[in-house]
A and B are shown apart, each in its own frame.
Chain A
Amino acid sequence: MAILSKEDAKAILDKVMAMSKAEMALAELSGDVGGNIRYARNTVTTSGSQRDISLEVASAFGKKEGVSIINEFDDASLEKVVRRSEELARLAPENPELMPYLGPQTYAEAVTTDEGSKVVDPAKRAQWAAKSIGVCKRGGLTAAGFIEDYYGFRALATSKGLFAYNEYTGLDFSVTVRTADGTGSGYALRDYNNINKLDADRATGIAAEKAFTSKNAKAIEPGKYTVILEPAASIGLIRTMFWNMGARSADEGRSYLSKQGGGNKLGEQLLDDRVTIYTDPLHKEVPRATFDWEGFPRQKTYFYKNGKVENLVYDRYWSKEKGVPVCPYPANLIMEGASASQEDLIKSTKKGILLTRTWYIRSVDPQTLLYTGLTRDGTFYIEDGEIKYPIKNLRFNESPIIMLNNLEALGRPQRIDGHLIPPIKVRDFTFTSLSDAI
């Protein structure tokens, strides 16, 4: 019983709430079934499957909260987990920032489940892996990859009458393809809610082509270059803006969104006016649950609109302190693009570099959101609108804020790691050294 229907989940959560003797209670019931297969050196290395369900109950007395978890669901077990969370709450120190649990909310119906993706047998995983390995073996290449599928649910309830339920399916696939002589490497990353959309042959084929064409790369001088970032290259930098989107740290003066002299940069023009990034749990390409971890409804929200800071994240405590509406962290990022294809972006480039993927991205200065990292798995020099030759990988030191101010053009958005991001062309992207890594 790893997956419970909405009705069955509600029945258990209702029982839990009826048992509660705390001033307030919140319970989360979640479960999933899924599996994975890992391969390297053109052979399967490990595989596994999991089936899990658990109930987490939080009880609170005043500002004291206790949490307990259990994975058994008979009445005695439910009673045990409720009582234990209450005992822990009595023992806990006061948390002055603890907010009252939410009452009933209205949620839009999520679109996170594909009916045909609920059951995956190990043979299907093995077939995907075999296809991916097959592409590489035929081409004299070496594949290393990982495939993970999942089908799960999450339900929340509070003693104040909140009930929320979400069901989801999905799959993540990544593959790194290397040439036999180790001088070329390519990569592909795919993720879907409908697992049948995975075309392991095609995705591996793209990685294989990158591996072939990145062989015998030439060195160029580090410096400032016009670059075209494929979505797998830009997502690592773009998402750092949203990890740091909290109003509280901005108001406290310790964020890139802090304003000199106090306050935050809400409403300020920080990026090129073609940059619009929002979250939308109902977007069909990248759907998400329509509620957050405490049951607050998620809805379409702009964070950057035409380059201006449109919203900051306010948790319930900080929204109360500041007297403004709650704004949860974005569950997905949707960056608006344009109609151009990636090939169009290349054609319009006199001199530049195409980046397939970026790697090991770490914060250097949180004040300016400066990050460092490296290119990987296919870096190519562009001249007169054509890819001319592969180049050696480069280390960059760049801020996504500077990068999105130096915007030249956008392409058609594509799903990448649960987000929708276009290929992006920017000028003056800063590379500071060369890497010999392949």
Chain B
Amino acid sequence: MAGMGMGGTMLGAPLIGSAVDPSVLMTPIMDAAAKKVLSDVALNTANMGGASYTDVRIGRYLNQFIYAREDKVQNIENRESFGVGIRVIVNGTWGFAATSDVTEEGITKAAKLAVEIAKANASLQTEPVKLAPTKGVGEVSWATPIEKNAFEVPISEKVDLILNANAIALKSGASYIDAAHFFVNEKKYFASTDGSYIDQDVHRIWPNFTVTAIDEETGKFRSRQALSSPMGMGYEYLDPRPEGKVDCPGGCIGYSHHYDLLEDAELAGKQVKAKLKAKSVVAGKYDLVLDPNHLGLTIHEAVGHPLELDRVLGYEANYAGTSFATLDKWKTGTFNYGNELVNLYADKTMQYSLGAVGYDDEGVATRKWDLVKKGILVNYQAIRDQIHMIDQEASHGCCYADSWSSVQFQRMPNVNLAPGEEPLTPLEMIKDVEKGIYIAGRGSYSIDQQRYNFQFGGTLFYEIKNGEIVGELEDVAYQSNTQEFWNSCAAICDKRDFRFWGSFFDGKGQPGQVSAVSHGSSTTRFNGVNVINTARKI
């Protein structure tokens, strides 16, 4: 009974919603006018119950996941989840209730329950909610600017492409291939007592695979993941176009907003086979040249998470942890997170990114803001009920809930490293490196609960000697301290190389929620980073 979520669970995909016929994913079930009427029922009910603020999210979450190994489709999941979440403030305390009964009766009941819960929790509350004012925007809409709705592409076409890529990878050197393609559409309607009625249609896509090669003689095996990225795009991401490609060191190919699955599958087969014979790294200090498809995860862990204000304040202490980037450091106005080459910013408006929406899940228009400017820590990521704690008046617009049934809270926006201002390509960058390693693709990742000490692996490693790639390496992981690492930044390629890496499944909160987030950067050099050799014998 593979359909009961086994495939999805193994690959870490959250199985939200009920299994449906794929045609259901393309069928509208409620228009904005009907949602407005129902939202007003919730707003009025909560108001009558004593709420000083209410917001309503009517959400329809559609997912299609396809799993295949070698020449077999293992599973196709088509899922739909539809319901409403109502959040209220009563006596300075949040209350939340959700229901899949999206009718006047169901919504009235849920609104009353949200008020009841808020009242019950008020007795334990010692920090009354202070909500930053947000002006209502009236009736507006926003949609991911897609060219091709992935849900309208026939499953047979998708399956043919995946099996074709699998065959190519096997032919070029892989022993096995596991492929997983994810398609997501969030249809979200938001209304609040501020006077906002916001209708949004959000699309995301992630074609992914892992190839494995085995040396039967030695018993050694190695894997290589696809160099695609999850994107805030439609099926056009899978149209190979020249403007989506960048030439990278070692014969690698970087992809920005167009991905050539067949080309990457062929390269993956060759590269994974080569990994079996690659030289084991000699531990020591190296200059690292990090591809955006690798660096994105380092930015995520060592910049995105430590600058979440709720973590800094201790709200996540029991799960994800707190942060080294404390308020006292920020308040000095001189805390050097990195050196002056380092400009890190948050932006939920960027085309192609996973975090792009018009408005966040508490009705705040999205925007761009600086986090680290010329190396100095200048800001955090904060939402309406916490922004006052850093003496700012307007939320940054980065509130998100992974379902209508989850309560929204602060989630990481797209956090990016600004490209260098001087013209520089990845191929030019390595010419100055005497002893270094070029790393592409994500690998092992681990960081402490305050985000000081981290260790990252990668997918592909190439040794650089005197400005030339001299061969592949294996058993590489680098360890550093966040502040030390960003202060070792030596050069950043220009905007022509700017590409996204992303994650569909960034986890946070108790009960846990996931969110999708992108991290854009250009290839970047870090000098003198500690590299360890991870080879062991058992």
Q: For B121, list chain A residues within 8 Å (CB).
A: 44, 47
Q: For B451, list chain A residues within 8 Å (CB).
A: 437
Q: Would you call A364 and B19 a contact (CB within 8 A)? A: no
Q: Would you call A435 and B318 a contact (CB within 8 A)? A: no
Q: Would you call A376 and B536 a contact (CB within 8 A)? A: no
Q: Would you call B218 and A260 a contact (CB within 8 A)? A: yes
Q: Would you call B318 and A437 a contact (CB within 8 A)? A: no
Chain B, Cβ-Cβ closest to A294:
B1
Q: Complex formed: what's the CA distance from A26 to B221 in Å? A: 37
B73 contacts partner chain A, Cβ-Cβ < 8 Å: yes
Q: For A436, list chain B residues within 8 Å (CB).
A: 324, 448, 450, 452-453, 481
Q: Would you call A397 and B216 a contact (CB within 8 A)? A: no
Q: Would you call A253 and B216 a contact (CB within 8 A)? A: yes
Q: Would you call A71 and B76 a contact (CB within 8 A)? A: no
Q: Would you call A437 and B448 a contact (CB within 8 A)? A: yes
Q: For A260, list chain B residues within 8 Å (CB).
A: 218-219
Q: Would you call B453 and A437 a contact (CB within 8 A)? A: yes
CB neighbors of A among B306-327 (8 A):
313-319, 321-322, 324
B466 contacts partner chain A, Cβ-Cβ < 8 Å: no
CB neighbors of B among A142-156 (8 A):
142, 144-146, 148
Interface residues on A, range: 35 or more
The interface stretch among A84-92, A111-119, A334-342, A415-423 is A84-92
Q: Would you call B450 and A432 a contact (CB within 8 A)? A: no
Q: For B532, list chain A residues within 8 Å (CB).
A: 397, 432
Q: For A362, list chain B residues within 8 Å (CB).
A: 444-446
B134 contacts partner chain A, Cβ-Cβ < 8 Å: no
Chain B, Cβ-Cβ closest to A376:
B449
CB-contact partner of A395 in B22, B316, B449, B453, under 8 A: B453
Q: Complex formed: what's the CA distance from A370 to B443 in Å? A: 13
Q: Would you call A364 and B477 a contact (CB within 8 A)? A: yes
A374 contacts partner chain B, Cβ-Cβ < 8 Å: yes
Q: Would you call B538 and A402 a contact (CB within 8 A)? A: yes
Q: Would you call B176 and A258 a contact (CB within 8 A)? A: no
Q: Would you call B21 and A372 a contact (CB within 8 A)? A: no
CB-contact partner of A41 in B18, B127, B321, under 8 A: B127
Q: Would you call A41 and B447 a contact (CB within 8 A)? A: no
CB neighbors of B among A43-76 (8 A):
43-48, 54, 56, 58, 65-71
Contacts A67-B19, A69-B19, A364-B457: A146 and B452 contacting too (C-beta < 8 A)? no
Q: Complex formed: what's the CA distance from A40 to B1 in Å? A: 41
A129 contacts partner chain B, Cβ-Cβ < 8 Å: yes
Chain B, Cβ-Cβ closest to A176:
B318
Contacts A95-B72, A374-B448, A402-B536: A68 and B316 contacting too (C-beta < 8 A)? no
Q: Would you call B536 and A67 a contact (CB within 8 A)? A: no
CB-contact partner of B444 in A43, A126, A174, A363, under 8 A: A363
Q: Would you call B448 and A67 a contact (CB within 8 A)? A: no
Chain B, Cβ-Cβ closest to A58:
B1
A130 contacts partner chain B, Cβ-Cβ < 8 Å: yes
Q: Would you call B314 and A41 a contact (CB within 8 A)? A: yes
The interface stretch among B2-10, B144-152, B242-250, B342-350 is B2-10
Contacts A67-B4, A253-B175, A365-B536: A43 and B125 contacting too (C-beta < 8 A)? yes
Q: For B453, list chain A residues within 8 Å (CB).
A: 374, 393, 395, 433-437
Q: Would you call B444 and A372 a contact (CB within 8 A)? A: yes
Q: Complex formed: what's the CA distance from A408 to B430 in Å? A: 48
Q: For A373, list chain B residues within 8 Å (CB).
A: 446
Q: For A401, list chain B residues within 8 Å (CB).
A: 538
The interface stretch among A8-16, A96-104, A306-314, A383-391 is A96-104
Question: Nearest chain B CB to A100's CB is how many angstroms away?
Answer: 11
Q: For A364, list chain B residues within 8 Å (CB).
A: 444, 457, 477, 534
A259 contacts partner chain B, Cβ-Cβ < 8 Å: yes
Q: For A92, list chain B residues within 8 Å (CB).
A: 76
CB-contact partner of A56 in B4, B220, B446, under 8 A: B4
Q: For A397, list chain B residues within 8 Å (CB).
A: 455, 477, 532, 534
Chain B, Cβ-Cβ closest to A137:
B126
Per-residue contact bits, chain B 442-482, to A (CB 8 Å; 1 contact, 0 not): 00111111111101010000000000000000010101010
Per-residue contact bits, chain B 50-74, to A (CB 8 Å; 1 contact, 0 not): 0000000000000000000000111
Per-residue contact bits, chain A 250-270, to B (CB 8 Å; 1 contact, 0 not): 001110101111100000001
Q: For A361, list chain B residues within 8 Å (CB).
A: 446
Counting chain A CB atoms within 10 Å of each CB, which of B1, B125, B510 scores highest? B1
Q: Would you call A91 and B1 a contact (CB within 8 A)? A: no
Q: Would you call B124 and A44 a contact (CB within 8 A)? A: yes
Q: Would you call A122 and B120 a contact (CB within 8 A)? A: yes
Q: For B479, list chain A residues within 8 Å (CB).
A: 395, 432-433
Chain B, Cβ-Cβ closest to A89:
B3
Q: Would you call A367 and B221 a contact (CB within 8 A)? A: yes
Counting chain A CB atoms within 10 Å of each CB, which of B216, B530, B532, B538 scores highest? B538
Q: Would you call B449 and A91 a contact (CB within 8 A)? A: no
Question: Nearest chain A CB to B181's CB is how many angstroms away?
Answer: 14
Q: Complex formed: what's the CA distance from A87 to B175 in Å? A: 35
Chain B, Cβ-Cβ closest to A367:
B221
CB-contact partner of B314 in A40, A93, A367, under 8 A: A40
A42 contacts partner chain B, Cβ-Cβ < 8 Å: yes
Q: Complex formed: what's the CA distance from A369 to B538 in Å? A: 9
Q: Would you call B319 and A146 a contact (CB within 8 A)? A: yes
Q: For B447, list chain A residues within 8 Å (CB).
A: 360
Q: Complex formed: what's the CA distance from A376 to B74 in Å? A: 40
CB neighbors of B among A319-343 (8 A):
none
Question: Nearest chain B CB to A176's CB is how many angstroms away?
Answer: 4
Q: Would you call A437 and B315 a contact (CB within 8 A)? A: no
Per-residue contact bits, chain A 224-262, to B (CB 8 Å; 1 contact, 0 not): 000000000000000000000000000011101011111
Task: Show 25 A/B contacts (Cβ-Cβ < 8 Å), sorted by A.
Answer: A40-B318, A41-B315, A56-B4, A65-B3, A69-B19, A84-B20, A84-B21, A92-B76, A144-B318, A178-B314, A252-B214, A253-B221, A254-B221, A360-B446, A364-B477, A368-B535, A368-B536, A372-B477, A373-B446, A395-B455, A401-B538, A402-B536, A432-B532, A433-B479, A435-B452
The 4 closest A-B pairs by CB, nearest first: A67-B3, A260-B219, A437-B448, A144-B317
Chain B residues within 8 Å of A, Cβ to Cβ = 1-4, 6, 18-22, 72-76, 78, 94, 96, 100, 117, 120-121, 124-127, 159, 175-176, 212, 214, 216-221, 223, 313-319, 321-322, 324, 407, 444-453, 455, 457, 475, 477, 479, 481, 510-511, 530, 532, 534-538
Q: A85-B19, A360-B446 are in contact. List 15 more A-B contacts (CB 8 A).
A: A36-B510, A48-B96, A54-B18, A88-B19, A130-B124, A253-B219, A253-B221, A254-B214, A259-B219, A262-B216, A367-B220, A433-B479, A433-B530, A435-B448, A437-B448
